Chain A
């Protein structure tokens, strides 16, 4: 079985946030980690590898610094790592990202594609489903469990108050929740081996299936009006009212803020 896991390097929420003048994130200037949902997706793939034997390829689109994250994935047990990087791919929204990643996947053989549900920077949860659309594959999102039986993926899909058991014929796309599992640690020897391996680097030229109008900032229909770091809230307002007045006061505030 050949599994492709799409992973993304995201800003570490423990570090500071830095923006480019155009409102996109200045990823080169921030501490970065593997997106937690993607890490759960990688762990799911590695468990399938442990159980049934599989070749696990990790794929990312990002800046050259994403090499660090790919080495981490190799040290956890992935077999191959591919970095899609090119200046003309920068500033991509979910459409341009999924178009680019899908074009990269078209260069590969696969039985199963796993992505994280969503990245902790954009929080859109769109890229996984869009990849399945571009590739014309069935999709099961929000996977909280995953098993493979007789050429089918069987998944518990998380829902608000329940879960759905869904079955899809391989090849298909699964988007993983971080609740899916507790990702393994790397091993020291795995780290040393990871730096002996080659990270395959693809540029625009290696993606013949990608149309110019679907890539990078220019190929992104999303327009970012403004982006900012968390704004510190004011000290708040203290009132001293009896219970009836308090209720009226709160309802007034909720109405004013369009909460109710």
Chain B
């Protein structure tokens, strides 16, 4: 059992760390405060290959692995949760399903532009009435001649109006099996600019405020028949498998937030003086920091293990669910305690931990709530 990073992973980590520190951190506060999508950073990340890390070189990617990708999201999120999720949603939720389920033609058409960052990707599963219950989809796709016609709406879509390529899950029919009916669900690739595809409200959020979260609206939106992703009726499986990968990205984001908050707090408690001593000299602080550091380390091992499992195993649902459950709950606990250790300053926006605590909350909710992760884990180990 090897726990150390290889030399190339160490060098990649130092690259992500340097980039995050120089290019992302200086903008993090403004990104949050102004709810500003960091378009220039995304352009830079594209230039340096961050938008296609696990994609094979023949499709314009970097030819690296899921661990390198997870470390990238982690390091970005250490300084800015918004930037981390932009890369995660783009890579895990848009490129990954095209690479896994797309035809050779679809891969050639979409992936090189996405992997190089020339185009941005997004994924639409959630609807106002279909969150955790993904079967509750209302968006419909009907085949008319050589085109699918989409009607319905999606909500809470990360990368919202900034994306160019969207993976959209929609109902394509009703299946009757043993007297019970269920929805036939399929996945589609929809391009921005397609007539009938527009954007609704931009959500105002508690955290990750620079990430553009939009409603997508489809009104008689016609896409080519060939834009179906995978086989008709396999959309639910595609969505669930895509989310398995996505959860590794979100787990890495949560891990980064926890690490970022802890680093900032260790620095703070060594400087802040009360009663003639730094607060880091009080055993209460030392013990709290020790507990948080141990949890962050445990989260890191789960996240890296899940990323490695994605490389070597055909299914990694449980690993991804455990990583996301533990890392996101760790992020929430660590950031909350870090705010507490900052005292009144932790509640002030000038201090990064304030933002990190708000950013951390969503990691327990999106791409499967903590409750869903518990369902996935128990469903697998108790069957």
**What is the CA–CA distance of A192 and B72 in the complex, to the nearest angstrom?**
14
From A186, which residue of chain B is reached at the shortest CB distance? Answer: B15
Is A243's beta carbon under 8 Å from chain B? no
Contact A186 B11 (CB under 8 A): yes
Within 8 A of B (CB), among A151-186: 184-186
Which residues of B, 1-59, contact A by the 8 Å Cβ criterion? 6-8, 11-12, 15, 18-19, 48-50, 53, 57
Cβ of B11 and Cβ of A75 under 8 Å apart? Answer: yes
Interface residues in A181-216 by Cβ distance below 8 A to B read: 184-192, 194-195
Partner of B7 from the list A68, A185, A190 (CB cut-off 8 Å) is A68
C-alpha spacing A68/B63, complex, angstroms: 21
Bound state CA distance, A38 and B6, in angstroms? 26
Instruction: Check A71/B7 contact, CB under 8 A, given A188-B64, A188-B68, A192-B63.
Output: yes
Does A93 sit at the interface, judged by CB under 8 A?
Answer: no
Does A185 contact B19, Cβ atoms closer than 8 Å? Answer: yes
Q: Is A72 an interface residue (CB 8 A)?
A: yes
Smallest Cβ distance from B8 to chain A, in angstroms? 4
Contact string against A for B residues 84-120, beta-carbon threshold 8 Å, 1 for contact and 0 otherwise: 0000000000000000000000000000000000000
- Do the beta carbons of B15 and A189 come within 8 Å of each other? no
Judge whether B49 and A188 touch: CB under 8 Å: yes
Which residue from chain B places its CB closest to the CB of A75 in the assembled complex? Answer: B11
Among A68, A191, A195, chain B packs the most CB atoms within 10 A around the CB of A191
Which residues B49-85 have CB closer than 8 A to chain A? 49-50, 53, 57, 61-64, 68, 72
Which 10 pairs across A and B sit closest by C-beta, in order of nearness? A189-B62, A187-B49, A195-B8, A188-B62, A188-B64, A186-B15, A191-B11, A185-B48, A191-B12, A188-B53
Interface size band for B: 10 to 19
Given A187-B48, A188-B53, A188-B72, is A72 in contact with B11 using a C-beta cutoff of 8 Å? yes
Our pick among A184, A187, A192 for the contact of B8 (Cβ within 8 Å) is A192
Shortest CB–CB separation between residue B141 and chain A, in angstroms?
36
Q: Are B7 and A189 in contact (CB under 8 A)?
A: no
* B61 cross-chain contacts in A, Cβ below 8 A: 189
* Residues of A contacting B11 in the complex (Cβ-Cβ under 8 angstroms): 68, 71-72, 75, 186, 191, 194-195
Q: Would A189 and B18 count as touching, CB distance under 8 A?
A: no
Pair B8/A189 contact, Cβ less than 8 Å: no
Selected contact of A189 from candidates B6, B19, B64, B72, CB within 8 Å: B64
Give Cα A6–Cα B57 distance, bound, in whole angstroms: 30
Are A192 and B64 in touch, CB under 8 angstroms?
yes
- Supply 15 further A-B pairs (C-beta < 8 A) apart from A186-B11, A188-B49, A189-B63: A71-B8, A72-B11, A75-B11, A184-B48, A185-B19, A186-B48, A187-B48, A188-B50, A189-B57, A189-B61, A191-B11, A191-B64, A192-B62, A192-B68, A195-B6
Chain A residues, Cβ within 8 Å of B12: 188, 191-192
CA gap between A59 and B151 in the complex, in Å: 61
Chain B residues, CB < 8 A from A195: 6-8, 11
Q: How far is the CA of A194 from the CA of B61 in the complex (A)?
A: 16
Contact with B along A30-65 (1 / 0, CB 8 A): 000000000000000000000000000000000000
- Chain A residues with Cβ below 8 Å from B53 are 188
How far apart sit A189 and B18, CA to CA, in the bound complex (Å)?
A: 16
> Considering the chains assembled together, what is the distance between the CA atoms of A195 and B61 in angstroms?
17
Task: Looking at the assembled complex, report how far the CB atom of A191 sits from the nearest CB atom of chain B, in whole angstroms.
Answer: 5
CB distance from B332 to the nearest CB of A (A): 29
A196 to B223: give the CA distance in the assembly, Å: 43
In Å, the complex CA distance between A190 and B61 comes to: 11
* Distance A192 CA – B18 CA, assembled complex (angstroms): 17
Bound together, the chains give a CA A185 to CA B21 distance in angstroms of 13
B7 A188 Cβ-Cβ under 8 A: no
Distance A186 CA – B63 CA, assembled complex (angstroms): 14
B6, B18, B62: the one contacting A187 at CB < 8 Å is B62
Nearest B residue (CB) for A196? B8
Residue of B15, B18, B19, B57 with highest tally of chain A CB at under 10 A: B15
Distance between B256 CB and nearest chain A CB, rounded to angstroms: 16
Give CA–CA (A191, B19) in the complex, Å: 14
Residue of A whose beta carbon sits closest to that of B19: A185
Q: How far is the CA of A68 from the CA of B8 in the complex (A)?
A: 9
- Measured between beta carbons, the chain B residues less than 8 angstroms from A188 are 12, 15, 49-50, 53, 62, 64, 68, 72
CB distance from B74 to the nearest CB of A (A): 13
B10 to chain A, nearest CB (A): 8
- Give Cα A75–Cα B49 distance, bound, in whole angstroms: 12
A184, closest chain B residue (CB): B48
Contacts of B64 in A (CB 8 A): 188-189, 191-192
Bound CA–CA A75/B9 (angstroms):
13
Alpha-carbon distance between A116 and B72 when the two chains are bound, in angstroms: 30
User: In angstroms, how far is the closest chain B Cβ from the Cβ of A7?
Assistant: 16
User: Closest approach, in angstroms, between the C-beta of B49 and any C-beta of chain A?
Assistant: 4
Q: Tell me the nearest residue of chain A to B53, going by C-beta.
A: A188
